[in-house]
Structure 1
Amino acid sequence: MKDFGPILYLIALLAIFYFMIIRPQQQRQKKHQQLINSLQENTEVTTIGGILGTIVKVKDKTVILKIADNVKIEILKTAIAYRNDKEEKK
């Protein structure tokens, strides 16, 4: 009964590990999935590679991104890092 110290220490360490590493990663992943599911045409986005563009067409797993006049590229939806909302620029 008196040797619960190491077990409690291990449980506390696992709890800290969960709340500091695993849970925030799950929240980021859930937020990114919501972003991917909400993509629409004429949305300005930034890719994980830093390319800024406007979505022209949304497909199953990819989007067509207009990055300049007469320049369009097709990228995976998962390569979109975030949406460039006009409200954030103010």
Structure 2
Amino acid sequence: MSQWLEAADPAAGGGIWGLILPFIIMFAVFYFLLIRPQQKKQKQRNMMLAQIKKGDKITTIGGLHGSVAELTDDTVVVRVNDTTRMTFERSAINAIIESAPGSAE
């Protein structure tokens, strides 16, 4: 009976490292497969949002296509056609389709 109790003792199987090591390995796997790529993607998105300028052709997260008519730090006015202008938060921009040649803010 004492053999069973000794085998069930967690300290007998390698000490505390035998318990902690699997958690460290799982955290490292999650970091390199999930957390780090997400951070890189967020950094690229923030750079894209910072590079928007007047005249750029963009698409919003809702699928609206247009060109940037006006910019502020927080908002973007998108010209959809000759008469329609819509105001969006800068974070609502999904992608820059075509950058405006040589135009500055």
Range into which the TM-score falls when normalised by the shorter chain: 0.7 to 0.9
AA aligned to 2:82 is D
SS in 1 for 2:36: helix
DSSP-derived class of the 1:49 partner: coil
The correspondence for 2:85, drawn from 54, 72, 76, is 72
- Corresponding residue for residue 64 of structure 2: 51
Question: SS where residue 54 of structure 1 aligns?
Answer: strand
Structure 2: 5+ residue stretches without partners:
1-10, 100-105
Q: Which has the higher strand share?
A: 1
Rg larger for: 2
Distance, in Å, in 2 between the alignment partners of 1:22 and 1:65 is 33
Partner of 2:48, secondary structure, is helix
| SS across alignment from 1:68 | coil
Q: Distance in 2 between matches of 1:74 and 1:25?
A: 28
Q: How many residues align?
A: 86
Per the normalisation by structure 2, the TM-score is 0.75
- For structure 1, which runs of at least 5 residues remain unmatched after alignment? none
Mapped to 1, the partners of 2:36 and 2:47 lie a distance apart of 17
Matches within 5 A, 1:7-86: 7-85=20-98
CA deviation after TM superposition for structure 1 residue 85, in Å: 2.9
Q: Distance in 2 between matches of 1:67 and 1:49?
A: 13
TM-score when normalising by structure 1: 0.87
Q: What's the CA shift string for 1:19-53, capped at 9, x where partnerless?
A: 11111111111111101111100001111111111
* Secondary structure of 1:64's aligned partner: strand
Which residue does the alignment assign to 2:8? Answer: none
